[in-house]
Amino acid sequence: MAIPTPDKGIIVNWAIQTNFQLPWNRSQIPVDIFEANSGYVGTARKKRDLDLQYRNNAKLYHFYKAIEDIVTGFGHNGRGCVLRTLCQLGAEPLHTTGEDDLLHEIATYVLNPLNDIEDGVSEESMPYIEALQHGRQRKNCIKIYDNCSLSLIDLFTMLH
């Protein structure tokens, strides 16, 4: 994200970096990500029974908390801004102009806290799920989460 300064000769750039180890074998992927939410009903990519049970402790609320910390570092209420964003996405989900948009698919998955409840709803994920539900119920997200002075949704989307 680039932000021009009043001098217009200087631009401040911000980037978020994530490092992770990619699987080198298909059997190391714990969830069949190719089938999730795609409508694909074939058998070639069905989830296999593995002798070694993989337990993934990475939850979406960990990502939300990281974003909260970043926004708080800029002097805003990170928690309120993330909750407002999830509420607004509940009211008006992300849309794309193209058919196959990988970034849209990733953002849609990551910004839906309901994707985090396969083992049940945890206490940590409850505020994020409630925020999404408030949006789906068409409640006034700006009024509910009025402690946010920044619109995160406006940073990466446009209203059409």
Q: What is the mean pLDDT of each run of 10 residues along the chain (160 residues)?
A: 67 76 65 51 50 61 90 92 94 80 82 84 91 95 91 77
Distance between CA atoms of 63 and 51, rounded to whole angstroms? Answer: 29
Distance between CA atoms of 38 and 95, rounded to whole angstroms? Answer: 16
Write down the pLDDT at residue 19. Answer: 75
Write down the pLDDT at residue 44. Answer: 47
From first CA to last CA, the distance across the chain in angstroms is 22
Write down the pLDDT at residue 5. Answer: 66
As given in the structure block, the two tokens for residue 113 are 């806290």
Write down the pLDDT at residue 160. Answer: 64
- How far, in Å, are 28, 29, 45, 78, 155 from residue 24 at the CA level? 7, 9, 17, 36, 35
The pTM (predicted TM-score) of the whole model is 0.62
- How far, in Å, are 40, 63, 99 from residue 139 at the CA level? 34, 24, 30
For CA atoms 14, 112, 103, 106, the dihedral sign is positive
Q: At what angle do helices 60-73 and 126-136 cross, to 10 degrees?
A: 90
Count Cα neighbours of 72 within 13 Å in the Cβ-side half-sphere: 10
